[in-house]
Amino acid sequence: MAANINPTVARRRLGAELRRLRLASGLKSTEVAERLMVSQPKISLMENGRSTISPRDVRDLCAIYEVTDAQVIDSLMQMAKGSGQQGWWHAYGDIPQSVYIALETDATSLHTYESMAIPALLQTPAYAYAVIGETIPQLATEEAGTRLKVRLRRQHRIYDPARPLRLWVVLDESALRRAVGSPDVMREQLEHLNAFGAEPHITVQVLPCTAGAHPGLSGQFSILRFADSSAAPVVYLERFTKDLYLEKPSDVQHYSVLHGHLQAQALSPDSSRDFITDVTKTYIDAASNP
């Protein structure tokens, strides 16, 4: 397996292929579980890419599905070996959002709506550190430092000259007005945001408060898409204790429509840059008149 294929995405691809083979064999997941003497949820977890799949699992499943093509079996076995490898984020220990980070690392495009804060991929170090420290009560200094390092490492994805991430952000005005850290931190952050908004692969739109009610009132969401056609798009909903990942085509379509409506209601990218510049001036004034 190529070194740039991360294990979470490899598991999703392998799981999708095994599900295809099972359906082609005409077997139900309960029947496969019975033959393997495992629980039906384990089969579902493997097919959804949520569980590690060993080469032995692949061998046994291929036997059940009557797959005889040695090249196909070998390809699946190699995918299973790769799915057990570790991504760069594992070097930082047991960190939150590891599943999302794996998907983000492999995604080709990310459409997101943020209502409360600047998206993590576009945060400055000072802003990110303030967000981490102020949103997680009693977080140890060492743990905060680790989370900051991970967040900044994630940003390498949008700097990658070989395959820059196509990022489309719709940002609620409240995220600009919420003073995270000092006025100087906010000034630097908004200037940073405007600089990225000028990049050809990044679009930033501001949804002003004057827009009134809109489809994003229910909260943040992100839609990740991948180059490999076998890797289905994923909707990510960040929650405080447990994140949600939606892969059903109807769910992805629903959130894609929502993002389209938000784009239509938001200011244009050029007007958004002007808007952000105006808000930046309020922080410059605040810093000079404490």
Q: What pLDDT band is residue 244 in, cutting at 50, 70 and 90?
A: confident
Given 29, 62, 85, the domain boundary residue is 85
Together in a domain, 145 and 238? yes
Instruction: Look at the block and give the residue holding tokens 């490492």.
Output: 153
Q: Among 201, 121, 129, 197, which Cα is nearest to 153's?
A: 121
pLDDT score recorded for residue 122: 97
Together in a domain, 220 and 138? yes
Given 85, 109, 144, the domain boundary residue is 85
Can you give the residue range of the structural domain that contains 164?
91-288
Q: For the chain, where are the E strands, in sequence order?
A: 109-114, 166-172, 202-207, 221-225, 234-237, 244-246
pLDDT of residue 27 exceeding 80, the answer is: yes
Q: What pLDDT band is residue 3 in, cutting at 50, 70 and 90?
A: very low
**pTM summary value:** 0.78
Q: What phi and psi, each to the nearest 5 degrees, are found at residue 253?
A: -65, -40
Together in a domain, 47 and 107? no
Together in a domain, 41 and 163? no
Together in a domain, 125 and 235? yes
Residue 197 lies in a domain: yes
pLDDT score recorded for residue 271: 98
CATH number, domain with residue 24: 1.10.260.40
Residue 1 lies in a domain: no
Together in a domain, 46 and 103? no
In residues, how long is the chain? 290
For 277-288, how does the pLDDT look when each residue is reduced to its tens digit (9 = 90+)? 999 999 999 888
Together in a domain, 36 and 57? yes
Burial 44-70 (b: 16+ CB within 10 A, else e): ebbbebebebebebbeebbeebebeee
72 against 255, higher pLDDT? 255
For 48-95, how does the pLDDT look when each residue is reduced to its tens digit (9 = 90+)? 777 778 888 888 999 999 988 888 888 888 878 766 666 777 788 777
Residue 2 lies in a domain: no
pLDDT of residue 8 exceeding 70, the answer is: no
Which of 6-15, 123-132, 146-155 is predicted least confidently? Answer: 6-15
Together in a domain, 204 and 235? yes
Q: How many CB atoms lie within 10 A of CB 79?
A: 21
Together in a domain, 40 and 134? no
Together in a domain, 32 and 106? no
Question: Bridge partners of 110?
Answer: 167, 224
For the chain, the 3-state helix, strand and coil shares in percent, each to the nearest 5, are 60, 10, 30
Domains held by the chain: number: 2
Together in a domain, 162 and 261? yes
Under DSSP, the state recorded for 113 is E
pLDDT score recorded for residue 2: 38
CATH number, domain with residue 202: 3.30.870
State the average pLDDT over residues 129-151: 90
- The rounded mean pLDDT for the chain is 88
Under DSSP, the state recorded for 234 is E
Given 54, 85, 116, the domain boundary residue is 85
Query: For residue 109, which amino acid is it?
Result: S
DSSP string, 158-218: HH-SSS--EEEEEEEHHHHHS--S-HHHHHHHHHHHHHHHTSTTEEEEEE-GGG-S-GGGG
Together in a domain, 103 and 59? no
Residue 229 lies in a domain: yes
